[in-house]
Amino acid sequence: MLEIRKSADRGVAEHGWLSSRHSFSFANYYDPKHVGFGPLLVINEDRVQPGRGFGAHGHRDMEIISYVLDGALEHKDSMGTGSVIRYGHVQRMSAGTGVVHSEFNHSHDEPVHFLQIWIRPNAQGIEPGYEEKYFEPAGKARQWRLIASPDGRDDSVLIHQDAQIYASILDGEDRLEYTFPDSRCGYLHVVRGAVALNGLALSAGDAAKLVNERQVTVSDAGRAEILLFDLPI
Split at pLDDT 50, 70, 90, the class of 233 is confident
Residue 100: the pLDDT is 97
Is a pLDDT exceeding 90 seen at residue 222? no
Q: Are 168 and 176 in contact, with CB atoms under 8 Å apart?
A: yes
Across the chain, mean pLDDT equals 97
Compute CA 102 distance to the chain's CA centroid, rounded to the nearest angstrom: 18
pTM, two decimal places: 0.97
Tell me the mean pLDDT in the region 72-87: 96
The residue-averaged pLDDT of 191-207 equals 97
27-36 tens-digit pLDDT: 999 999 999 9
Mark residue 80 as left, alpha or beta (left: phi above 0; alpha: psi -120 to 50; beta: remaining). Answer: left
Beta bridge partners of 210: 2, 186
Q: Which domains does the chain have, with CATH numbers?
A: 2-232 (2.60.120.10)
Task: Write the DSSP string, 163-219.
Answer: -EEEEEEEEET--EEEEPPTTEEEEEEEEEEEEEETTEEEETT-EEEESS--EEEEE
Q: What's the DSSP call for residue 139?
A: H
**CB under 8 Å to 13, separation ≥6 — which residues?**
19, 20, 21, 22, 27, 28, 29
Give yes or no for residue 77 having a pLDDT over 90.
yes
Q: Detail the DSSP E strand segments found in the chain.
A: 2-5, 11-14, 18-22, 40-48, 53-59, 63-70, 73-77, 82-85, 89-94, 99-105, 112-119, 129-134, 145-149, 157-158, 164-172, 176-179, 184-197, 200-203, 207-210, 215-232
Given the DSSP bridges, would you call strands 2-5 and 215-232 parallel, antiparallel or unpaired?
unpaired
Ranges 3-7, 138-142, 147-151, 220-224: which has the least confidence: 220-224
User: pLDDT over 70 for what percent of the chain?
Assistant: 100
